[in-house]
Structure 1
Amino acid sequence: MENTLMDTDNIITSDNNGYSNADAILTTVNSSDSSNYEFPALFKSKTLIEVCSSSWCRSQKAKEDVQPYLRGCKWSPDGTCCLCIINNDGTHLVELPRDLYSDIPTTNRTIDILDSVVHIKEAGLVYDYCWYPGMNSAIPESCCWVTTKQNSPIQMWDAFDGSLRCTYRGFNAVDEMEPAISVTFTQEGSRIIAGYKKYLRTFDVDRPGREYSEHKIGSPASCFATDSNLLAVGSWNSSISLYNVNEMGTYKSIGKMHGHTGGVTHMKFTPDGIRLVSGARKDHRLLVWDIRYYRRPLNILTRAVNTNQRIYFDISPCGQYLVSGGTDGIVKVWDAKTVNWKISLDQYDSVTDNVTYQFPLHRDCCNSVAIHPIRPIIATGSGQYHFKDPAKYLDYDFPKCVEENQRDRSEHTKEDSIYDNDLRFSCDSENSLVFWWIGEVPNKS
């Protein structure tokens, strides 16, 4: 990652080191008067402009069944770069082009090809990752993130050179190191909360190693959401547990929420800290909860989730927009002023698709979306593991499958089309990270 600070052709419409002049932008946002910062309007033009893109391919020496695809992306808290997890290829860090720190792109802007400024080739499946919440490019020691992966402890990585800073290790009853399933920082960034199969373990950021406090839980902690002293813990048993975490790291249970039909994979609090949005595997619903009255969800939003893959969603810093991808490649946007997704659900109304905007951005699964913390930019990632279809490609390996799919597409009968609708068996795979401008579009025709 360069030591920088943050101050097209493809348009989609609904159905060198050193510091730049953008220092003033971050200075305003990071100052004590940051509450006066007005977040720019989003989706007003109902048009998305592709400004940057990147993709990853399989190395020549890799096995044929190795499929690199993006499994998640998250903006850094200062907005200068985006962290990506690539299946079978570790962690990649890409930077936002400098002209997007302050300029407004036009419809004829050239699309930038993103190169990884940091690449960490991690062996094993990365379970979860999280930026340090106080990350600021002006303070190099604050530029880091943590990951937890298969057969490894929690690792903290430097965002400038990709070096390993330290590790945080949890041990089971027989003194064997076990990997965490999920990980997050507390909001002030002084502690790391890690979720395991039977415990929540809290590490002091300043004291790496095996020193931690733990809290016993009844089911594995699959994901976290934090706001102030509140901690929401999602589980593979489809429940969500709410805890109050005091300054000493002690957990006090508030209650449990039930409503999903599959394991909870992602959650996020709204900026006001009153509502919680949750999503689950093989569950087409996003549930909106009021944590003051958590017995039943406030509202239900629909998206396409046909696999066990984690499908990320995001909430804009202004709290007005909720954006989610789906296994159908469509990005859906809910505007709180239009569909009132924050109000109470009428139990007599049937669950319908009340989306405000939807953009068909990818031909494969859109598994992640991330809204920029300062600028009207959204990052989307696509990809999933594609199985060989036993009904059509029994005698073909995956590379040959791509050629056969293009050559024999016109020969397929109507009965065969049922397989084309299943993206897991489709050969039209996509592996990309794309940045889209979602603000005002000048000179829109």
Structure 2
Amino acid sequence: MDNCSMQIDDTPGPEICEKEPDIHQIVDVPVENTDTPFYEYPSLFTSKTLLELCNSSWSRTASAKQDVQPYLRGCKWSPDGTCCLTVVNNDGVHITEVPRDLYTGTVSPTRTIDVLDSTIHVKEAGLVYDFCWYPGMNSCIPETCCWLTTRQNAPVQMWDAFDGSLRCSYRGFNAVDEMEPALSVTFTTDGTRIIAGYKKVLRTFDVDRPGRDFAEHKTNSPASCFATDSNLLAMGSWNTTITLYNMNEIGTYKSIGKMHGHSGGVTHLKFTPDGLKLVSGARKDHRLLVWDIRYYRKPLNILTRVVKTNQRIYFDVSPCGKYLITGGTDGVVKVWNVDTVNWKDSLDVTDVDKDNSTFRFPLHRDCCNSISIHPIRPILATGSGQYHLHDPILTPEDGVKKENGQSDITINDKNANSAIDSDMKYSSVSENSLVFWWIGDMT
């Protein structure tokens, strides 16, 4: 991504921020007059429908092997809202920019759908475990435009969002001086330190000191995911527990307590904007648990979604704290509105299968694993895809399954989306796409 492409105006240099007082100035310019509201987050889902704005898709080449499947594994909006960071299996990391006509105003239902190309493509080899943006990212300040990735057999790496170059790396070494890959990574809220989670330890790096200098804190379980808010750190683990830590200024951690409730390994955590609630999701667990961090012995609420695989299924909380949105392996996006269904308060937790969501949108034919709400505009980014097992009985020549000498037609598009409660699912339907949806008012 070049310098001009991430800016709002076409003219390079410092004049960009002076000419366009919208996204960048909303994010970083301090409020001088506190008597009037500086920025009000727009209303969401007022029309009770979604409008597709842009899409981008990935497909396997004809010469690729059967197990090479470029499905999405997560998408996250940049903190300044100018672009979206996407991780694609077997295809590295992509950055996709928001069309400039979406920076201000509303949209019309007759708007043409844009087909987006990746502005930056980092062809990383190996499985990407986790990724995150620098929290102070602003495309008017090139030094802040970067993200972190941690992947298989590699250290924590920082990448430049303008040209896709590798800036630096942060290496964690074990007791026998072997470099370990981190399972999860995140920035502290002020952006001065990097927290990397390993199998039995947390390592804290100073952002301005790349290399192998770190502080270490031992844990009893692997760190599968993180969520931070002020001086609080929530760490999810594959042993189904969530641990709360208090971080002090010198980078040490004090354990506050553990939360139990999931039946699978915790894959994603998210604090609400007020910092009082924590939402957690796990693999092969149909429940989203809402916790009050002041009374964390049991969850406040249990929400339902469809998660039938070990894949990480993301969810997100709107910046206004009013909406909780999640995907699912059935391709359905569920929305909870705190004004309609108070998903922050306790319900009858015995009825865990009850669906009390405010809206349900069947947006994808395949698994909807990625959800990210734009930090400023009423735009929702969703990503789809999952690993599809190849039926060993299926013959590519005739396209049928042979059982007891007879031929049966394989699963077709009509019933491929139906739920199959089995350990192996053979489906001919795959959708590997990144889609931007308009969720605000329409003209």
* TM-score relative to the length of structure 1: 0.90
Match of 1:324 in 2: 326
Match of 1:430 in 2: 431
Deviation at 1:58, TM superposition (A): 1.9
CA contact (8 A) 1:132 1:189 kept: yes
CA contact (8 A) 1:144 1:156 kept: yes
Deviation at 1:29, TM superposition (A): 3.1
CA contact (8 A) 1:47 1:441 kept: no
Match of 1:269 in 2: 271
Matched residue SS, 2:50: strand
Higher helix share: 1
One-letter code aligned to 2:104:
S
Deviations 1:397-420 (A, max 9, x none): 9xx86999xxxx995799x96995
Q: Go from structure 1 to structure 2 and tell me whether the alpha carbon gap of 1:339 and 1:199 turns closer, same or farther (over 3 Å shift).
A: same
| C-alpha distance in structure 2 between counterparts of 1:239 and 1:365, whole Å | 25
Deviation at 1:312, TM superposition (A): 0.2
CA contact (8 A) 2:203 2:215 kept: yes
Selected match of 1:207 from 186, 206, 209: 209
CA contact (8 A) 1:5 1:22 kept: no
Matched residue SS, 2:386: coil
Deviations 1:307-347 (A, max 9, x none): 00000000000000000000000000000111100112345
CA contact (8 A) 2:324 2:335 kept: yes
Selected match of 1:146 from 145, 148, 165: 148
| C-alpha distance in structure 1 between counterparts of 2:212 and 2:312, whole Å | 29
| C-alpha distance in structure 1 between counterparts of 2:411 and 2:205, whole Å | 58
Selected match of 1:421 from 419, 428, 438: 419
Higher mean alpha-carbon deviation, 199-208 vs 340-349, is at: 340-349
RMSD: 2.5
Matched residue SS, 1:23: coil
Q: Go from structure 1 to structure 2 and tell me whether the alpha carbon gap of 1:386 and 1:412 turns closer, same or farther (over 3 Å shift).
A: closer
Selected match of 2:299 from 297, 300, 319: 297
Higher mean alpha-carbon deviation, 422-431 vs 43-52, is at: 422-431
Identity of aligned residues (%): 68
Match of 2:257 in 1: 255
| C-alpha distance in structure 2 between counterparts of 1:108 and 1:401, whole Å | 40
Selected match of 2:287 from 271, 285, 288: 285
One-letter code aligned to 1:65:
D
* 1:230 counterpart = 2:267: no
| C-alpha distance in structure 1 between counterparts of 2:437 and 2:416, whole Å | 32
Deviations 1:267-315 (A, max 9, x none): 0000000000000000000000000000000000000000000000000
| C-alpha distance in structure 2 between counterparts of 1:402 and 1:257, whole Å | 48
Selected match of 1:86 from 88, 98, 113: 88
| C-alpha distance in structure 2 between counterparts of 1:411 and 1:58, whole Å | 24
Q: Go from structure 1 to structure 2 and tell me whether the alpha carbon gap of 1:385 and 1:402 turns closer, same or farther (over 3 Å shift).
A: farther
Q: Go from structure 1 to structure 2 and tell me whether the alpha carbon gap of 1:348 and 1:260 turns closer, same or farther (over 3 Å shift).
A: closer
Match of 1:439 in 2: 440
Match of 1:26 in 2: 24
Matched residue SS, 2:25: helix
CA contact (8 A) 1:6 1:78 kept: no
Matched residue SS, 2:224: strand
Matched residue SS, 1:137: coil
| C-alpha distance in structure 2 between counterparts of 1:271 and 1:327, whole Å | 27
* 1:240 counterpart = 2:242: yes
Q: Go from structure 1 to structure 2 and tell me whether the alpha carbon gap of 1:401 and 1:250 turns closer, same or farther (over 3 Å shift).
A: farther
Match of 2:395 in 1: 395
| C-alpha distance in structure 1 between counterparts of 2:411 and 2:267, whole Å | 37
CA contact (8 A) 2:303 2:352 kept: no
Gaps of 5+ in 1: 8-15
CA contact (8 A) 1:288 1:342 kept: yes
The aligned length equals: 425
* 1:364 counterpart = 2:362: no
